Amino acid sequence: MKITSGLMNICATIIAFSFSLNVFAISPADIKKGEYLARVGDCVSCHTAPHGKDFAGGLPMLTPVGAIYTTNITPDPETGIGKYTESDFAKALRRGVAKDGHHLYPAMPYPSYAKVSDTDIHYLYLYFKHGVKPVRQANKASEIPWPLNYRFPLAIWNAFFLDKETYKPDPDKDANWNRGAYLVQGLGHCGACHTPRGLAFQEKGLTHESGKFLSGETLEGWSATNLRDDHNTGLGRWSESDIVVYLKSGANQHSSAFGTMTPVINNSTEGMTLEDLTGMSSYLKTIKGSDDKGQKPYKYDPSATLAQFKEPAKHPGAKLYQQYCAACHSQNGQGVAPYLSPLAGNPAVMDPDPSSLINVILNGSPQLKPQGVAAPYNMPKFRHILNDTEVAQLVTFMQKGWNHNLDATDAKQVAKIRKMPPSAH
Amino acid sequence: MATLNINGTTHQVDAPDDMPLLWVIRDIIGLTGTKFGCGIAQCGACTVHIDGQAARSCVLPISAIGDKKITTIEAVGETSAGKSIQKAWLDLEVMQCGYCQSGQIMSACSLLGQHPHPNDEQIDTAMAGNICRCGTYPRIRAAIKVAAKEGA
Ligand code: FES
Ligand code: FES
């Protein structure tokens, strides 16, 4: 009898044990799904300090009211999110509310992540809980001064600007388009940089239904270009496959990624599936333009610019360009796409806000590394070689050149960007 | 496989499209007169001619060359500008350590090809991208003027 009951006990334990294993078994495939989604969301670019451990936070983000530091999102129970339940995690991601109830600053793109589905939140949670290595690293306090550092008004902010609906597919569009819209509006959080922000730092539009959505914005001294269908300043002249090539490799026949877009390519889009990238480009191509901010449709014509190179004494901008830029970007402004970016007709050059042009000349660009392979030609920095007047002359030369005919830039604009810390990304 | 015309000879090279011409001419073809300095188009040490025009080979992907003719320091002496520039360089003893000089000579020859009698402004513009750590600039400028006179 004793033996039998003992055996039964053992059997019961085994059954209970294997049952519990079944319930809680975490499949590596699901963690992989979460890892992919974390890549789509590009969590690592912001939640990792320069030379820091992945996801351990500490990257400074400059907001109009002071620097804040990204937080540790590794599963360390003390300093990270190890004690978060799935619903705590969902609340932080989609509502901007941490486990202890404090409100996150909307530099965390939770208004975009609010669109993310429950299933995707689940996979992401599995990945951050079981796929990421815990790192013990305390979070840094923000540098936002009193009284702006009170977080309770963020609850009111949320009431105004947070749309709590997850993404609802548009039944009139195909699955490809809907997948793209879901990614662009949601995890991809393209609008966090590319949509203009209002006085309360809110994005002025979270979907294509707003005319402002993805129409371009300047953050941390970089102008994130217009992604709508505008002919000059947007993606009007890019085909769907141009967009896919750009996101996969960081460059195409029109332009190369630089500045803060580089980590987005390196850490996120280069590893996305072709299906997802095709969806995103097909969605982006349906977002109507906003009239190119009054510019005439661009037509390439290098003749007047080429003539300037013959009389360098009269054209200081052309002379500087010849000396520092032409070897790669060519006198005709066409570069050697996709390796050396064209400048003629490049939407980043035609952007009415010259911040990015100034910034990339002063600070160069981080190395593009699609598929882990460093791109062979990198933009060097010229901040120690060219003074503010010279940079302004160069930028103006490009703004006027190759038939762009845009407004000029002055040395004061350069001085302002020179003072900003080169992006920590 | 790319086909490149270098100094009048056709070469088949097995190299990726984005490889800089400089690597091909030094490491694959074995013409080492062209020098590596910075690799980012800022020093001029790697200057070669593409259809007679000075170009920085360190930032020139071979896919961008097509069937244009590449000339390096090894063959530039066969052109008339090259002959007079090299002679003037020797007569005035322009070289110090010599590292930058093949690039200087290539830029100077390309200049004379476009402006047989360059003024100071044209010399400065053409030569500004060639840096010399030994500071031979005054002799370079003088030698270009001598070559221009003798070539005439
Ligand atoms: S090595 Fe090509 S310019 Fe310096
Ligand atoms: S001669 Fe020495 S670097 Fe020019």
Distances (CA, A) of A226 to A194, A221, A223, A303, A305: 7, 16, 9, 28, 26
Best residue for ligand 2 mutational test, from B47, B132, B140 (most atoms within 8 Å of Cβ) = B132
Hey, which residues does B11 pair with through a beta bridge?
Answer: B4
Interchain pair A327, B61: CB under 8 A = no
Q: Which residue type is seen at A366?
A: P
Q: Give me the half-sphere count of Cα atoms (radius 13 Å) on the Cβ side of residue A51.
A: 0
Query: In this predicted structure, what is the pLDDT of residue A157?
Result: 77
Nearest to A319 by CA among A333, A309, A327: A309
User: Residues of chain A with pLDDT > 90: what percent?
Assistant: 77
The domains of chain B are located at 2-75, 77-151
Calculate mean pLDDT across residues A84-93: 96
Q: Does A339 sit within 8 Å of B40, measured CB to CB?
A: no
> Rounded to whole angstroms, what are the CA distances from A293 to A226, A232, A296, A341, A395?
11, 9, 9, 24, 19
**B29: CA distance to ligand 2 center in Å?**
25
CA distances from A135 to A82, B2, B88 (A): 10, 49, 66
**Mutate which of B46, B101, B130 to test ligand 2's pocket (most atoms within 8 Å of Cβ)?**
B101
For residues B151 and A222, which has the higher predicted lDDT (pLDDT)? A222
CA distance A111 to A43: 15
- Where does residue A327 rank: exposed (0-12), middle (13-18), buried (19+ CB within 10 A)? buried
Please return the burial class of B40, using the count of CB atoms within 10 Å of its CB with bins 0-12, 13-18 and 19+. Answer: middle
What is the reported pLDDT for A1? 44
Considering only A20-29, A117-126, A173-182, B63-72, which range has the smallest mean pLDDT? A20-29
Integer Cα distance of B152 and B84 in angstroms: 10
- Sheet of strand B2-6: strand arrangement: B9-13, B2-6, B69-71, B47-50, B53-56
Percentages of chain A per state (helix, strand, coil), in multiples of 5: 45, 5, 50
Determine the pLDDT at residue A32: 97
CB contact (8 A) between residue A377 and residue B42: no
Q: CA-based angle A389:B123:B37, to the nearest 5? A: 75
Quick one: pLDDT at residue A219? 87
CATH topology agreement for domains B2-75 and B77-151:
no
DSSP structure class, residue B67:
T
- Across A235-265, b (16+ Cβ under 10 Å) vs e yields bbbbebebbbbbbbbbbbbbbbbbbbbbbbb
Residue-level pLDDT at A18: 47
The share of chain B scoring above pLDDT 90, in percent, equals 92
Q: Minimal CA–CA distance to A254: which of A233, A274, A278?
A: A233
**Ligand 2 pocket, CB under 6 A:** B 95-101, 132-134, 136
> A256, A311, A322, A323: best mutation site toward chain B, by most B Cβ within 10 Å?
A323
**pLDDT > 70: what percent of chain A?**
93
pLDDT of residue A286: 97
Ligand nearest to the CA of B21: 1
Domains (ranges, CATH) in chain A?
A: 26-132 (1.10.760), 294-419 (1.10.760.10)
Task: Identify from A340, A382, A386 which residue to disrupt to test chain B contact, counting B C-beta atoms within 10 A and taking the largest count.
Answer: A340
Least confident of A155-159, A352-356, A392-396, A407-411: A155-159
Q: At what angle do helices A316-324 and B120-127 cross, to 10 degrees?
A: 40
pTM score, whole prediction = 0.89
Which ligand places an atom closest to the C-alpha of B95? 2
Say which DSSP state B77 is in: G
pLDDT over 90 at B151, yes or no: no
pLDDT on residue A145? 78
Contacts of B41 in chain A (CB under 8 A): 327-328
**A90-118 in b/e burial notation, b at 16+ Cβ within 10 A?**
bbbbbbbbbeeeebbbbbbbbbbbbbbee
The per-residue pLDDT for A5 is 55
- Residues belonging to chain A: 425
Confidence (pLDDT) at A22: 46
Structure tokens at A376: 């062979």
pLDDT, position A24: 59
> Rounded CA gap, B60 and B63, in Å?
8
Q: For residue A83, is pLDDT > 50?
A: yes
Question: What is the position in ligand 2's atom list of the atom closest to the CA of B96?
Answer: 1
CATH of B2-75, one of 3.10.20.30, 3.40.47.40, 3.40.50.10490, 3.30.200.20: 3.10.20.30
The answer to whether the beta carbons of residues B49 and B109 sit under 8 Å apart is: yes
* Mean pLDDT along residues A35-51: 95
Instruction: List, for residues B123-149, the tens digit of each pLDDT value.
Output: 988 898 999 999 999 999 999 999 999
Instruction: State which H helix or E strand residue B71 sits in.
Output: strand B69-71
A75: helix, strand or coil: coil
Query: Are A260 and A425 a contacting pair, CB within 8 Å?
Result: yes
State the Cα–Cα distance between residues B90 and B94, nearest whole angstrom: 7
Q: How far apart are CA A375 and CA B36, in angstroms?
A: 18
Ranges A3-12, A392-401, B76-85: which has the least confidence: A3-12
- The model's confidence at residue A422, banded by pLDDT at 50, 70 and 90, is confident
pLDDT of residue A171: 97
Q: How many residues does chain B have?
A: 152
Q: What is the pLDDT of residue A25?
A: 75
In which band, very low, low, confident or very high, does the pLDDT at A201 lie, cut at 50, 70 and 90? confident
Q: Are strands B2-6 and B69-71 parallel, antiparallel or unpaired?
A: parallel
Q: What is the CATH number of domain B77-151?
A: 1.10.150.120
Question: What is the CA A360 to chain-centroid distance, rounded?
Answer: 17
pLDDT of residue A19: 47
Q: What is the pLDDT of residues A309-332, one digit of tens each?
A: 988 889 999 999 998 999 999 999
Q: CB B42 to CB A312 under 8 A?
A: no
A252-304 pLDDT per residue, tens: 999 999 999 999 999 999 999 999 999 999 999 999 998 777 788 999 999 99
